[in-house]
Amino acid sequence: MSLLTVVRLHWHKDYLFQKRLALQLPIDSFRFDFRGNHETPGPWRLGNFNDDVLDIHVVVEYLTKELGYVVDLLVGHSRGSVTGMMWLCQYPAQSATVRGYANVSGRYRLYPYRVDPTPQKLYDQMRKPENWKQIEAKGYYELTATVARKPFYARVTVQDHDQFASGDSSIVWEKFPQSIDVLTMHGLKDTVVPPSALLSYDAFIYAQALGARSPGTHNLCYVEDADHNFTGVRLQVKHLGIVLISLPVQIADQVVATVLEWYAMLEHKELKTGIWHTGVKPKL
């Protein structure tokens, strides 16, 4: 069997926990960069989910028809998780062999939050004073980042943000396959897809949408100190109130361990819908 790990992640296929997870899973792994990301050519777009879904479709076509693989498990983070969900909903015949889907830091509320005074988080980046000044002058702002230790530059417009916000995640309620087991993981210190916003947790909404299916199951796992990328909190050493050392504490290994345990339970048909590790006393 084959594992297809969807790693849109905004950046590249070896980002965060993906490579470590792939090396430990008991099945083959395939990770790829979506168009315009890292090693894949093409234009980079902030919010074109249709192109992302099409990329998955093309990759799966190649894996199954050219290489003879069977796609068994889908793992996605952030936007990659949303894209994976959309592919499962839009290509039921092609995804019919998939038994498991791990949704890590997936956003449900793609549209701007509509309850005042909740901020419209999807537009926060655009509305930063330095970015808005560029939009007024040039019609776009320049996005810069470091991807795989290389500089990355892109132009982002208001229309790009509007396109991202127009993505339809609500299809998960009606079109998500009934038989797929799902694990949703979300950090309680996520500021990108914040669990404390006015409406409801994005992960909780996925639990509501997917928890009533049968025979497919849904397990919801919140991680207390995890941020959006599961890089965790910072360990600080202070003296007289001055921070001498500040180091990130990695929580990515917890994602790897949880997905591995969940997949083993999937293999043995031991999964039941509910909160992850229901009945297991935590170590405090």
> For the segment 165-213, what is each residue's pLDDT rounded down to a tens digit?
778 889 999 999 999 999 999 988 887 776 655 444 789 999 999 999 9
Range of the domain at 78: 2-110+168-275
List Cα–Cα distances, 146 to 11, 98, 126, 153, in angstroms. 9, 33, 19, 9
187 in a structural domain? yes
Neighbouring residues of 263: CB distance < 8 A, sequence distance ≥ 6: 25, 73, 100
Confidence band for 261, pLDDT divided at 50, 70 and 90: very high
Q: What is the rounded CA–CA span in Å between residue 46 and residue 154?
A: 9
- Residues 74-89 have pLDDT tens digits of 999 888 899 999 999 9
Q: What is the rounded CA–CA span in Å between residue 7 and residue 178?
A: 24
Whose CA is closest to 10, among 42, 41, 52?
A: 52
CATH classification at residue 9: 3.40.50.1820
- Residues 142-154 have pLDDT tens digits of 877 666 567 777 7
Domain shared by 238 and 143, yes or no? no
User: In the listed set 166, 183, 199, which residue is the last one of a domain according to the structure?
Assistant: 166
